Each structure stands twice: as structure tokens, then as C-alpha cells.
Homo-oligomer: A and B are copies of this chain.
Amino acid sequence: MSTDPITVDVTALQNALDGRWAHVRDGSRKVASDPRFAVAVGDTVEEQRAAVLERMHILAETDYARLGFPGKYGGLDDVGGAVTAFEMLALGDLSLLVKAGVQWGLFGGAILHLGTERHHEKYLPALQSLELMGCFAMTETGHGSDVANLRTTATYDADTDQFVIHTPDDQARKEYIGNAARDGHVAVVFAQLITGGESQGVHAFVVPIRDAKGKPAPGVRIEDCGLKGGLNGVDNGRLYFDEVRVPRDNLLNRYGDVAKGGAYSTPIENKTARFFTMLGTLVQGRISVAGGAGSATKVALNIAVRYGNKRSQFSAPGAEGEVPVLDYLAHQRKILPALAKTYALHFAQSELVAGLNDTTPPLDAVTTGSVPAEDPNRRELETRAAGIKAIATWHATRTIQDCREACGGAGYLAENRLPGLKADTDVFTTFEGDNTVLLQLVAKELLTGFRDHFGELDLIGTTRFVADQAVETVIEKVGGRRLLQRLADFAPGGGEDAGLLDRNWHLDMFDWREKHILETLARRLRRAADAEDPFAVFNESQDHLLLAAHAHIGSVLLHSFVDAIEACPDERTRDVLSLLCDLFALSTIENERGWFQEHGRLTASRSKAVLAEVNALCGRVRPIAAELVEAFAIPEQLIGAALLG
């Protein structure tokens, strides 16, 4: 590849980014350009909540609310489109995003995937139109990550043929529940199903929480979570149930049912496997959050790059005028590798959305209530979704912070959007799965591949099991693509900086790292399999486990990026993407150069050459940075940063 200055065809680049659901993206851009969606700042909490509700009603009149639901009930049966539209909505008001996610994603998704025909008929049309607003009441104060051990109970009472929903104590109250404090009328409540004195694990129940007048329903206590770090247009609340009775029919009974009289039946006998299957149907939420984080990151980068071009400070000796701050290497270093990673995440996200779409049966089929056969692609997708959600949301938090700082004092004014982006996206790192817990799940899945074999073992108890299985299964599961054929030519010939831009070298480095970390982890766990204290074994390896997940997702990102370049029909755009991919790959290797040296994969001088090359790549990306953020095609009113005016 030449090192001539590179030029960008912004339209072709936008096409490459927009991909398969370009039509949905364009539709979203049109809706978002409605003046009623302009970004506002300075409203009180109550004003924000009112504005968000109004916007929800505007959305309900567009395709937005219908994309993810079956045609049979007025939907458009386009799962990929639904997730893409969510991603696009995240360019604007993030409270609206989260409220829409609660209503149509979590609440609607639970009804669709955990319920059966009777629930679909009764609720799906009403929830699309907002005639019925609902909550997704899973998290409890005492159990956020460990949801298998929720403590709310749903006890079947054969005498009345009802379930009794009950909060045993304050630690079991439902916590941070969106739509609960103000607008929700029903909640899908996750609770331990008890029938005939026996617990069958966590199931979901539709529970009315407000009456027609908006007062709490009898036995239901609702508290407002109050002011939050952001997302104050969402009415998060706490729910307490004092022996609230609901008809037996209110059990969302796709994966477990109770017959009149109390007999329990299920298509998945293993209790843990059943619960994880139920959770698995909700994977769309995690994928959506990852996409939303990506959009917020893009808005921040758009602001910081354009401001970096416009804002100048200090004069260079012998030159006219002052230097645009984006000309400074330190400024480029703050922003451009993050921009490259944002592209990498974008392509990985697009692949994830396509995978979700293509592994979801037509939604009309879902409504029959049958349980799909185990699909290994789907399992891999769930793992990848968990990992990308973690990496994308951390990337958002860090990048938005760096963009804020790159805009100096101006970046701290609400009128310049960045403070709101920062505050609103912060919680993404811990909701829909705490990132650390998610990465742990990724690593465990990589090691074992078969979560349902875990049986009754809890997350920590899996250690011993993992240890037995790991070494056998690890080899063929790593990377999945292109691995073996490339291990041969690991170090390109020539000097220390030869081949730094060789894509095969990048892929080798990423894949080898993933493989090596996973193999050593497996060996370590196997050695420790007979340990006295399994928790100690698990805990001593926890950083190793998380490293394995990081390395895996790094590899996933690079492969997605490479695939996107190969799939791009426009040569000039391939060059642009290739340059960004170089920056992504080398800045990642730079960050991990301590590890690569430890493992003999970078010599000291080659490691230094990587640093120098990242600097050089920043210099090459800098002249096209404005076009790179323009290609995100963010409607200008959503950017809403006065400093660009």
C-alpha cells in the first residue's frame, strides 16, 4: 500500500458503514430530523420525562415500534431492522432510547419470547401502539448480576388458580425498573415459581402495577429511584409486591407451565439450562445496548474531530496563524485510535445484528410457542454479544470522556452535548449485564462451549467442570476462522519495522494471543482441578479469565473489520478502511505490547517500531478525519453542539 495522501468518497464510505439495513438507517435519519426530536438541555426531570413520553408517542406512529414484532400482530417481522433502528435512535435523545428499549425491547421482547399465543394476542398490539406501557422487572436490589437467585416469589395457589407475587424483604424489591416510576401499567416480573411447595426456578409473570387512573395497583408499592447520573427522562422505580394475586394465565409459559391444580411442565428439564435459555432469548437487549453505545461514541467523535479542525491554539514558528489542535500529535493520539476502534466495533456490530437476524426464526413462528432446537450458531452469537456489549460500552465511556477533554472547557458546557452523552451512556457499562460479569461469561463459554452441561453448578462452581473439559475442546474453538494456515509465517522478514502493516501479521498476532491465553488458562484450571478451595482457584485466575475474553473480542473485531474491507466494492473506500484497520490493529498491539513481549511475539525494538508506526498512521488519518466522521451521516440536529456553530 502506498503512503500517498488518501482521499475519501464520503458517500461510498457511508454505504460501506450503512450496510444491509441501509434503508432502515435512512428512515431513522428522516424521523430523527423531525424538529420534535431536536436535542434539548436544561429541562427539569419532570419536563424530561414528559418530553420523552411525547416522543415515544411520535415513535409509536412510525415503523420503529413495529419492526421487531410478528406480522400476525401488526409487526414488520424485521429483527435486524429493529436493532438497527435502535442503534440509530441512539444518535439522539438517550433517555428516549432507553425508554423505547424498555417498552419495545425488554417488555415487548419478554412477552414475545417468553410468552405464548394468549399473551401475544392480548399484549403485542397494545404495547406497540403504547396503549399499554410496561416494565421489565428482573433486577432486585440484592441481585443484579446473579439473577438465577432472585428472591421474589410467585407461589401457585390451587384454591384460587392464581399466582401470588411477593417481595419477601427490601433486598428483594425490584430495582432500577424503567417505566415503573411514572408510566408503566404492567410489569413482567421475574420470580421464583413455586408450585406444590417446590421451586422451579425463575419464571416471568405479567403483573398489573397501576390501575386505570395511574394509581399503584392493590398490594403494589412503587418508589421513584430519583435523580440519576443521566437518563433522567426515564422514570426508573422500585417495585414491592405484597402478596399480589394474578391469574395463572399471567405466567409467560413458553419454557415452563403450570396446569390447573399445580402440575409443572417444561420442555427443558434442567433448571439452569432452562433459565439460561430464557435469558438467551433476550440477547437482543445486549446487542441493542452495544449498538447504542456505538452511536453515542460516533456523536462524540464527530464533535471532537470537527472542533479539533476548527479550534486552533498556539502559533508554529515561521507559520501564519495558529495551529488547529488536531494537528498536534497528542491530540491525534487522544482521538484517532478511538475513531479506528469505533469503525472496528461498527463492523463487528453489523455482523452481530445480521447474525441475530439470521438465527431468529420468523417471528410468526415464535408465536406458536414452540421451543427452537439448540443452535450452536445462536450460542456463539450470545457469547459474542456479551463480549461486544462489554467492549463497546467501555469504549463509549472512555472515548466520550476523551472527546470531552479534547474540547476543553467547551466540552463541559451542556450546550455542547458532550456532558449529556457522557452522563447518559455511563450506566451502559453495568446494565444489561455488568461488563466484568459478561466478559467472564465469554471466557467460560470459550472454554467449554456447552453451557447447558453445567447443570446445577452455579457460576463459580463451574471451575472444576471447566477444568476437566477445557484442554480437549479449546483447540478447535479458538478464533474459528483462518487460524491454522497462518501460524506458519509469524514474523515477516526484513528489519524491525518490516511488515508492520501486513494484515496477515495483524491477524496472526491477534489470533495467536487469543489462542495462547485460552490454552494457558485451560491448563491452569486443569492443574487446579483438585484444589481444596475451588473459589480460590477461580479467583486467582479471574484476571486471566477476563484477559481471555478481551483477547477473543479483540480478535472478533479485527476479523470483522477485515471481512468488511473485503466485502467493500469500492477500491478507494477499501484503502480508507484499510488505513483505519491498520491503526486499529497496531494501536491494539501497542496497548498489549507488554504481553506480546512477555510471550516472545514482539522484540524490544519491534515493539518500539509499533509505537512509531501508530504515530505515523495518526498523521495519515488526520487529513481525512473530518470525512471519517461525516460518513456516520448523523442528522445535524442530533449532534446539537453549539461549539460547531
Contacts and interface: CB of A to CB of B under 8 A. Distances in A.
A593 B596 CA distance: 11
A422 B316 contact: no
A617 to B, nearest CB: 13
A57 interface: no
Given A330-B436, A458-B315, A227 B42 contact: yes
Stoichiometry, as copies per complex, reads 2
Interface string A432-465: 0011100010000000000000000111110100
A359 interface: no
Given A229-B419, A597-B598, A409 B318 contact: no
Contact of A412 (B228, B457, B460): B228
Given A227-B42, A313-B144, A314-B145, A608 B604 contact: no
A615 B541 CA distance: 10
B329 A543 contact: yes
Contacts of A435: 405
A44 interface: yes
A423 B414 contact: no
Interface in A601-619: 604-605, 607-608, 611, 615
Interface residues of A, number: 84
Contacts of A315: 149, 458, 460
A314 B440 CA distance: 13
A440 B546 CA distance: 35
B229 A534 contact: no
A566 interface: no
A333 B229 contact: no
B423 A405 contact: no
Nearest to A542: B329
A412 B436 contact: no
Given A316-B535, A459-B314, A599 B594 contact: no
B422 A229 contact: yes
A413 interface: yes
Contact of A330 (B42, B534, B542, B600): B542
Nearest to A547: B611
A144 B143 CA distance: 47
A427 B412 CA distance: 7
Interface in A522-537: 534-535
A429 interface: yes
A409 B145 CA distance: 10
A540 B615 contact: yes
Nearest to A457: B317
Nearest to A42: B227
A587 to B, nearest CB: 12
Contacts of A534: 316-318
A313 B143 contact: yes
A58 interface: no
Interface in A328-386: 328-331, 333-334
A336 B401 CA distance: 23
Nearest to A229: B419
A225 interface: yes
A490 interface: no
B146 A329 contact: no
A546 B24 CA distance: 45
26 contacts: A42-B226, A227-B413, A228-B413, A229-B418, A229-B419, A230-B412, A230-B419, A314-B459, A315-B460, A317-B460, A317-B463, A328-B542, A329-B539, A330-B436, A401-B401, A404-B426, A409-B427, A409-B431, A419-B423, A419-B426, A590-B594, A593-B597, A593-B598, A598-B605, A598-B607, A598-B608
Smallest CB-CB A-B distances: 6 pairs: A229-B419, A316-B535, A227-B414, A594-B594, A593-B594, A597-B597
